[in-house]
Amino acid sequence: MPAAANQTRIAVVAIGGNSLIVDNKHPDVAHQWDAVRETTRNVADMVEAGWTTIVTHGNGPQVGFILRRNELAAQEVHPTPLDLIVADTQGSIGFMLQQTLNNEFFQRKIDRQCITIITQVLVDADDPAFTNPTKPIGGFMEEAKAREFAQEGWQVVEDAGRGWRRVVASPEPREIVEAVAIEQAVRMGWIVVAVGGGGIPVVRNAKGELRSVYAVIDKDRASSLLASQVDADLFLISTGVEQVALNFGKPDQRPIEQMTVAEARRYIAEGHFAPGSMKPKIEACIRFLQHSHKADAVAIITNPENLGRALRFETGTRIVQ
């Protein structure tokens, strides 16, 4: 068992499900292994620099693959329900991260070991998201196929002329069920993979028992909540751009090195961040800082290859109190 540090600096690092699929033309598992090895080298650098790290991850593409397998095998075997799909991807992606991180630690002679915790996230059964499903899952399809899914009880929507997709609710995460276990593991020195795919959404029934609900949770929101619950020093979102920018994609685009929570809120109000892209990441950072008990807590957004430089304040975008 790794030795616990006397003064542990805790970082929650949220990586996207697409971090495992760099090239859409090569989504196979062998190429996913190559991608995850690159990602974990950057995380291992953080651990080597003294951070006890919790890694969270997305699972969008992987969920889509399993849903497609359900469709292709429908005449042969029973389908896998969505809660088990999220659990499956927590296990498989967690395994990949766990193995590659532990290999990095072994090669570098770092006295740390990574474990994966299958994570449930409590949501409100009355969350309005359940009456307005908006989160796309699975691949695009023709309208006729979408109508077949609708007859099976799925919600389907037409997506900006690109085809039809299934959508499910994306309720607000309220509590990380395994947060205490995750924090205890971190305090003992373990590197933890948790909240994969935003966690498995659950509610409590009349008896107080946990039951899965048909929904998915935004990975960055759940990661932000976890960072708050374990009182992390750093919340880092690894995404597709080196820095957040104002007027993104326009001739007057301007990168942001640092902004306060108040400035971030103002930029959101001014419409600088796209709702399906950077806006939820900025909102997740704001939530973390709002609930942090540490005055020097910081959130950082950057791309995987620049994690180290961002921690040295050489690049990335920092959001501070």
pLDDT of residue 6: 47
- Is-contact 264 285, C-beta < 8 A? yes
CB 49 within 8 A of CB 15: no
The DSSP element (H or E) to which 41 belongs, if any, is helix 29-48
Confidence of residue 149 (pLDDT cuts 50, 70, 90): confident
- What is the enclosing helix (H) or strand (E) of 12? strand 9-15
The answer to whether residues 18 and 60 touch, using CB atoms and an 8 Å cutoff, is yes
Q: Is 193 helix (H, G, I), strand (E, B) or coil?
A: strand
What φ, ψ does residue 20 adopt, rounded to 5°?
-90, -10
Q: With beta carbons less than 8 A apart as the criterion, state whether 160 and 241 touch.
A: no
Residue 137: predicted pLDDT = 84
* Phi-psi group of 195: left, alpha or beta (phi > 0 → left; psi -120 to 50 → alpha; rest → beta): left
Amino acid occupying residue 271? G
Is 136 a residue whose pLDDT tops 90? no
Average pLDDT of the residues in 42-63 = 93
Which helix H or strand E contains 313, and what residues bound it?
A: none
What pLDDT is stored for residue 121 in this prediction? 98
What tens digit of pLDDT does each residue of 277-321 get? 899 999 999 999 999 999 999 999 999 888 889 999 999 999 998
- Check pLDDT > 60 for residue 144: yes
Q: What is the mean pLDDT of residues 80-97?
A: 95
- Domain annotation for the chain: domains and CATH numbers: 9-320 (3.40.1160.10)
φ, ψ (nearest 5 deg) of residue 122 = -75, 135
pLDDT, one tens digit per residue, over 161-179 is: 778 888 999 999 999 999 9
What single-letter amino acid sits at 141?
M
Find the range with the poorest average confidence among 37-41, 139-143, 173-177: 139-143
For the record, the structure tokens of 250 come out as 């326009």
Contact 56, 14 (CB under 8 A): yes
pLDDT at 50 over 60: yes
- pTM for the whole structure: 0.91
CB 302 within 8 A of CB 42: no
The Cα 180–Cα 119 span in angstroms is: 11
How many whole angstroms separate alpha carbon 302 and alpha carbon 22? 16
What are φ and ψ of residue 127, in 5° steps?
A: -55, 130
Q: Which residues contact 287 (CB under 8 A, 6 or more apart)?
A: 221, 224, 225, 228
Task: Give the burial class of 209: count Cβ atoms within 10 A of its Cβ; 0-12 exposed, 13-18 middle, 19 or more buried.
Answer: exposed
The whole-angstrom separation of Cα 58 and Cα 56 is: 7
The set of catalytic residues is 17-18, 135, 219, 281
At residue 45, φ and ψ (nearest 5 deg) are -60, -40
Q: Dump pLDDT digits (tens) for 243-255.
A: 999 988 888 899 9
User: 235 has which bridge partners?
Assistant: 12, 299
